[in-house]
Structure 1
Amino acid sequence: MTGANLMLHEEALGWVIRTRDPDFMDWDAFTLWLEADPAHVSAYDELMAADADLADIVPADPVFPSTPANDLGQRQWMPMRWIGGGAMAAALVAALSIASWNRSDIYTITTRPGETRSIALDDGTRIDMNGGTTLRLDHKDSRFAALDSGEAAFTVRHDASDPFRVTVGDAVFEDAGTVFNIVHSTGATRIGVSEGEVIYNPQAQAIALPAGRGLTRDASGLHVMNVAPDTVASWRQGRLSYDNMPVTQISADIARSLGVRVTATPAAGATRFTGTIRIDRNAPRFFAAAAPLMGLSAVRQGDGWLLKEGDAPAR
């Protein structure tokens, strides 16, 4: 799928999701979008037709009404609502995309915790993968990537006519001549931009993130903040740099970079840290230096490490 076709697909899919919501009211804007280009109508109709297979793909969910709303007849489609910051919308995106993700030209690259890998794409873009990362790429479209989990730094060759896009869950990050780093884990995504600019969800919020800006999305919502450009993807230089970051997230970064299991007590996990921690593959030596920097102590527990507050007993 070319960059232009991918953008059209994203736009049409967005309208499918929105118009299926019983509370949707923006019919004037939808009509203008359809009339702007005959290709819009075709793309929308194609995705609407795909809903006939949703019953076989998406399991029944108790939040659905017991009787069909917006019944379209034979298909008995059950409208999905925008719940939990778009979680149900993401489920619909995944369901409608199953066929395209099963194409033979889509391939997956995975790194083990503690392992790093650098990938050079045909378009001149470089992707550096940190440990514990899963990334999907397309043999037929070097302007696309999907970060399923973990951390990756992108050094993108800019092409205004065919922007590079990274899909992360139900979000899209589009480059504008850019170096940026994305971390994605269960329930949370964060990005920092060191050069150029990234557009978050260009077909929805369209939040511009120039160099020196970052964004986090988690259970508390969407937050934009300043970041030091030279700290973005600092793991590539053997250091982890933070500005008021909770230890729970730092623990995940350490585990990814060192390849060891890291947990924290509730009090330690809520502690916030600003500073730089040097990565040392020797775990005992690393924790002996890193834990005091964060005002914590570290003890070995089985095959992993526990971060705890001060001299508090391990629990």
Structure 2
Amino acid sequence: MKPPATAADFLAMHGWGDGQISPVAGDASFRRYFRVQEGDRQAILMDAPPPHEDPKPFIAMAEYLANSGFAAPEIFARDLTQGLVLLEDFGEHRMREHLDQQPEDEESIYRQVIDLLRELHRIPAAPVPAYDWLQYLREVNLLTEWYCPAQQLDVDAEAFVACWKQVLAPVLAAQNNPVTVMRDYHAENIMLLADGRLGLLDFQDALVGHPAYDLVSMLQDARRDVSDELEEKMLAYYLADRNEEAAQEFRSHYAILGAQRNTKIIGIFTRLCVRDGKQRYLEFLPRMWRLLEKDLQHPALEPVAQWYARNIPAEVRSRSIPLPEKTE
């Protein structure tokens, strides 16, 4: 985790030449992050190296969110050619660790993150691409492209796509008035700021789509256990102002998008292990299968549930993925 060779000149050019650089935790992408400390001020240096990463979507979304009244990091400086961005440091008080240490705050903080989504869904959507058929199907296909080969499964990939087209149709039809979807809205991307607001991170892949997506991302968290009781309470809280018919339709779409997202994540976490050697992501797979199986119980997902039963039976889902052999 050494900073890029161009970091010193970039920081000096923008008034941070005497800053001390130290690494901070990254994510599952090629992006890297460093804390820059200079006297009593600090900032975060994002290294988003081209061609693997493009920081422009992050910058655009940060500006959209900030202009809409949400707490997104202020952009202090940028060098798009080098892929360097200097941005506001939200500190280290993250929702995930706070709740690990103070679980009594769980319901109040989850209400706050749901309130933020409700506000986001009331304003005009960001000027970003749509969450369309192609994107939804590209994502679920990560399971047949990565998980199934890793488990040496010969599956009916064509039927898999046909099932998803069938169950996703009502979700796409409901996106005629789309909202901003941040796509990675979960406890490890929410900072608890000193002023009581929620600091938002990791929104560079935002699209416009269905309001259930970020809700299910938060309540069916890939990295943190959320009890069924809390999930139901927060889902009911989000739907409190809808009539019974609208609420039931939303719950159906919520289950569909939960299954879509959890399917995608199983594929992504397998890819991170097999292709990138990041074996720690395998520890999340039992949680992902539990969440997916819960979603598949919804009647709206019967075609997909039947495909899973035929192609990936329960005894396979609990089987460890063989790790790639290490090369010298």
Does the alignment reach a TM-score above 0.5? no
Structure with bigger helix share is 2
TM-score (structure 1 length as normaliser): 0.28
Larger relative contact order, structure 1 or 2 (CA cutoff 8 Å, min sep 6): 2
Q: What TM-score do you get using the length of structure 2 for normalisation?
A: 0.27
Which structure: greater strand fraction? Answer: 1
- Larger CA Rg, structure 1 vs 2: 1
